[in-house]
Amino acid sequence: MNGSQKRKHTTSPAIYAIAFVVALLAGLGTVYWLSPPSDNRPDTPSSAGSGSEAGSSGAAGVGAGPLKGLNTGAMTAFVVRPEPAALPDFSFEAPGGKPVSSADLKGKVVLLNIWATWCVPCREEMPQLNALQSELGGEQFEVVALNIDKGGPQKAREFLEETGATDLTAYYDPSGKLFATLKAVGMPTTLLIDSEGKEMGRLVGPANWASPEAKALVEAAIGAAQKGSE
User: Which tens digit of pLDDT belongs to each residue from 112-144?
Assistant: 999 999 999 999 999 999 999 999 999 999 999
Looking at the fold, whether 22 and 50 belong to one and the same domain comes out as no
Condensed to tens digits (0 to 9), the pLDDT of residues 38-54 reads 333 333 333 333 333 33
**124 domain-assigned:** yes
Looking at the fold, whether 10 and 91 belong to one and the same domain comes out as no
Looking at the fold, whether 97 and 209 belong to one and the same domain comes out as yes
Q: By percentage, how much of the chain surpasses pLDDT 70?
A: 72
pLDDT at 99 over 90: yes
pLDDT at 35 over 80: no
**68 domain-assigned:** yes
Helix runs in the chain, H state only: 3-28, 45-48, 51-54, 120-136, 154-162, 178-181, 212-229
Band the pLDDT of 152: cuts 50, 70, 90.
confident
Looking at the fold, whether 59 and 88 belong to one and the same domain comes out as yes
Mean of pLDDT over the chain = 79
Q: Which helix H or strand E contains 92, and what residues bound it?
A: strand 91-94
**What's the average model confidence in pLDDT over 191-219?**
97
**36 domain-assigned:** no
Domain count for the chain? 2
The answer to whether the CB of 226 falls within 8 A of the CB of 108 is no
